[in-house]
Amino acid sequence: MRRVWFLVLSFLLLTGMMTVAATGPKAVITIPPALEVEGEELELGQLAMIEAEPALREKISRINLGRAPRFGETASLYRTNVVYILDRSGLAGTYTLEMPPKVTVTRAGQLVTADQMLAAVEAYIGKHASPAWTGWRVEPGRLQERRVPRGELAYRLEGDRTPLKPGLNTFRLGILVDGAVLFTVPVTVRLTIEAPVYVSTQPLDRYTELSAEVVRREVRELTTGNEWLGELTAGRYRVTRDLPAGRVLLAGDLEEKPLVTKGSKVRLILESGSVQVELTAQAEEDGWLNQEIIVTNLDSNRRLTATVMGPGLVEVKLK
C-alpha cells in the first residue's frame, strides 16, 4: 500500500514539474548595453536578439518602446521600462529579458564635417569667380559639424545670392540627403581676391581723360569689390571727380566720355516728316548716345530738347 502511494505521489510531482516547465518562459530577449538605430521609432525587433517560436518572435519584434533620439543625440533605455511594456503587452511570464539596467541608444547617421561644408562653398566661389581675378582664397569662420541620416550627401546654395566681394561673405548652404533638403546652415567665410587694378600716377582733376600717362595697372588685393577691373581703352573714359596720386580707381571714379560735351557746338538736325534741316547749336550739358539733352539753336537763340545721335550730333523730331 505504501508503495502504491509512493508511486502516485511521484507521478503527481513529475507531472507538476512538467506543467511548470511547459508554462515557463518561452522567449529569450537579449538587449546589449549600447545600440545604434536607424528609424524614428524604437521597435524591440531593431534593438534585441529574440529567441522564440516564429509567431511569438514576430509579436515581440513589433513592440514599440517609444521615439528614437534625434540625429547626433543619445537616449537611455531602462530595463524597468522594457519590462513594464512587455508585461502590458500580455507577455508577463513568457519571456526572459537579458539586458543591463540602462542601455544607451544612438540615432544612426553620418557626419557633415566643416571641411565638407567649406569645400561646397569653395566650389561655388570657383564657379562664379570673375575671370578678371588672378587669384582668391577663403578663410572659414566657425563651422559646426552636423549629423544627418545616412544616404547620398549633396550641397546647394539657397536664397538670394549677392555678388562675391572681398571680405566677409555669408552663404546659406542647403544640406541634402538622397536629394531632399534637410536644413540650411549659414556659412561665413572671409574671401581674399587679387586682381589687376588701375592706379593713378599723379593727381587728376575732374574730367581728366584717362590714358597710359596718368594711370598704371598692377595686381593688388581688392578691398571693396568696387575696383574697376575692365579694360580702359585710351580716350574712352574720364574721371568723375578730383583724385589724388596713388589711388586705386573705383567704378564710381570714372565714366565714358560723352559724345557731346557741355558748351561745345554741335550739328542740330531738325526733322519734320521727310524734311530735314541742319543747324548749329550749343550743348547746354554733357550727353551720351540716345540721351536727351538741352541745346540752344544759335540762329534763333531758342532752347530745344534734342537726342544725341553721335559725336557732336543731335536731332530734334518736330511733330
Give me the pLDDT at residue 25, please.
Answer: 63
For 61-77, how does the pLDDT look when each residue is reduced to its tens digit (9 = 90+)?
999 999 999 877 889 99
Give me the pLDDT at residue 272, please.
Answer: 86
User: Same structural domain for residues 216 and 293?
Assistant: no
CATH number at residue 29: 2.60.480.10
User: Same structural domain for residues 221 and 241?
Assistant: yes
User: Same structural domain for residues 245 and 313?
Assistant: no
For 261-273, how does the pLDDT look when each residue is reduced to its tens digit (9 = 90+)?
899 999 999 998 8
In total, how many domains does the chain have? 4
Share of the chain residues as helix, strand and coil, in percent rounded to the nearest 5 = 20, 45, 35
In a domain, 51, yes or no: yes
Average pLDDT over residues 203-210: 94
User: Same structural domain for residues 37 and 98?
Assistant: yes
For 93-114, how does the pLDDT look when each residue is reduced to its tens digit (9 = 90+)?
999 999 999 999 988 888 899 9
Average pLDDT over residues 174-196: 94
Domain boundary among 46, 80, 108: 108
In a domain, 100, yes or no: yes
Average pLDDT over residues 35-46: 89
User: Same structural domain for residues 144 and 158?
Assistant: yes
In a domain, 17, yes or no: no
What Å distances lie between residue 53 and 26, 57, 61, 174, 177, CA to CA? Answer: 8, 6, 12, 48, 39
How many Å apart are CA 111 and CA 275, to the nearest integer?
78
Domain boundary among 173, 189, 205: 189
How many Å apart are CA 95 and CA 249, to the nearest integer?
83
In a domain, 199, yes or no: yes
| Domain of 103, in residue numbers | 23-108
User: Same structural domain for residues 103 and 66?
Assistant: yes
Q: Which pTM was predicted?
A: 0.66
